[in-house]
A = this chain, B = another copy of it.
Amino acid sequence: MTKLPEAADVVDAAGRIAPVVHHTPVMTSRAIDELAGLELHFKCEHLQRTGAFKMRGAANAVFALRERDARRGVVTHSSGNFAQAVALAARLRGIDAHIVMPSNASAVKRAAVEGYGGSITACEPNAASREATAAEIQARTGATLVHPYDQLTVIAGQGTAALELLEHVSGLDAIITPIGGGGLFSGCCLAAHDRHPGLAMIGAEPAGADDAARSLASGTRLPQTDPRTIADGLLTSLGDLTWPIVRDHAATILTVDEDAIVAAMKVVWSRLKQVIEPSAAVAVAVALSGRLPSNLRRVGVVLSGGNVDLDRLPW
């Protein structure tokens, strides 16, 4: 079985990626605290390079490669923030990034990847074509596959967001992050529980893509089929590595509906003046839901990304 990441891997990642990622600020808002009845500390990963926390994991994966492997480049499959992050991380290391994207990916997303120097290969919009295309590129170029979330270095890299948050804000009772494939959430579990074993880790999931909530409830990993949510970064299922971490870290998963996600997004835009994407708003919606255990008062919320098409807002 593949080795699971540990807290020490997150600490290693923090040192490795420090030269190429932003140490993002933490923001607060009296107005939002009043709405939530909590003291919220927003970790601003939408201000991370490429506009999302994904840069942390991508940078860790790319910079952890040995030189002889790195020279042959990296390949990933993603139509979203991870694609941009791998493209930028590879450019910063001076190596090739092959990005497999479905043929129906938007021109905006393609342009973003190309802007960071990534080479796009189109595939059919399904998992089989995506994996076959990536495998073909691997075979042809010798590039190393970087998985968007189910890989030790990626999980460890994402966990550095929690490390920074805990260094910035003392005495947190809980951390809320969105949960999709689970890379961010599981990395943050490792980092946070190593420092503060009693800290509550709360995964925020759209009700329309609630595989993590159902998996935890049943004790068995259940796949996400037919996800329906505007939070397009959270459509995927937990992975072979992320699932056991979520399961074993006494995590809580709370789900929110689409109206709550949109409302939370507008609260952050209008009160915190920060442009966050729907997937990030899922964590805020959980903070505003009134459903957190009443012993939690001082709460970190990871604003996971801010890449939104301003011409297609969900309101």
Binding site for B on A (CB under 8 A): 25, 27, 46-47, 51, 266, 269-270, 273-276, 306, 308, 310-311, 313, 315
Q: Are A310 and B275 in contact (CB under 8 A)?
A: no
Tell which of A25, A273, A308, A315 has the most Cβ of chain B within 10 Å.
A273
Indicate if the CB atoms of B266 and A270 lie closer than 8 Å.
no
In the bound assembly, the distance between CA atoms of A24 and B127 in angstroms comes to 46
Residues of chain B within 8 A (CB-CB) of A275 are 269-270, 273-275
* Chain B proximity of A262: nearest CB distance (Å): 11
B315 engages A310 (CB within 8 Å): yes
CA distance A310 to B270 in the complex (A): 7
Contact of A47 among B269, B273, B276, B310 (CB under 8 A): B273
Contacts of A273 in B (CB 8 A): 46-47, 51, 274-276, 306
Q: Which residues of B contact A311 (CB under 8 A)?
A: 315
* Copies of this chain, count: 2
Task: Please give, as numbers and ranges, the residues of chain B lying within 8 Å of A308 by CB-CB distance.
Answer: 270
- Report B-chain residues with C-beta under 8 Å of the C-beta of A269: 275, 310
21 A–B contacts from the bound complex (CB under 8 Å): A25-B25, A27-B47, A46-B273, A47-B273, A51-B273, A266-B310, A269-B275, A269-B310, A270-B275, A270-B308, A270-B310, A273-B274, A273-B275, A273-B276, A273-B306, A274-B274, A274-B275, A275-B275, A310-B315, A311-B315, A313-B313
Nearest B residue to A47 by beta-carbon distance? B273
The complex places the Cα of A275 from the Cα of B306 at a distance, in Å, of 11
Chain B positions within 8 Å of A266 at CB level: 310
Q: How far is the CB of A239 from chain B (nearest CB, A)?
A: 28
Q: What residues of chain B lie closer than 8 Å to A306, measured between beta carbons?
A: 273
List the 7 closest pairs (A to B, CB-CB), nearest first: A273-B306, A273-B275, A46-B273, A269-B275, A266-B310, A269-B310, A270-B310
CB nearest to A276 among chain B residues: B273
Q: What would 9 more interface pairs be, CB under 8 Å, given A51-B273, A269-B310? A: A46-B273, A47-B273, A266-B310, A269-B275, A273-B275, A274-B274, A275-B275, A310-B315, A313-B313
In the complex, the chain B residue whose C-beta lies closest to that of A275 is B273
**CB closest chain-B residue, reference A271:** B51
CA distance A306 to B269 in the complex (A): 9
Complex Cα–Cα for A276 and B274 (A): 9
Chain B positions within 8 Å of A313 at CB level: 313
Q: Residues of B contacting A46 with CB < 8 Å? A: 273
Interface hub of A27, A46, A274, A276 (most chain B Cβ within 10 A): A274
User: In the docked arrangement, what's the CA distance between A310 and B315, Å?
Assistant: 9
A276 partner residues in chain B, CB cutoff 8 A: 273
B residues within 8 A CB of A25?
25
Expressed in whole angstroms, the minimum distance between the Cβ of A315 and any Cβ of chain B is 7
User: A269 vs B27: C-alpha distance in the bound complex, in angstroms?
Assistant: 17
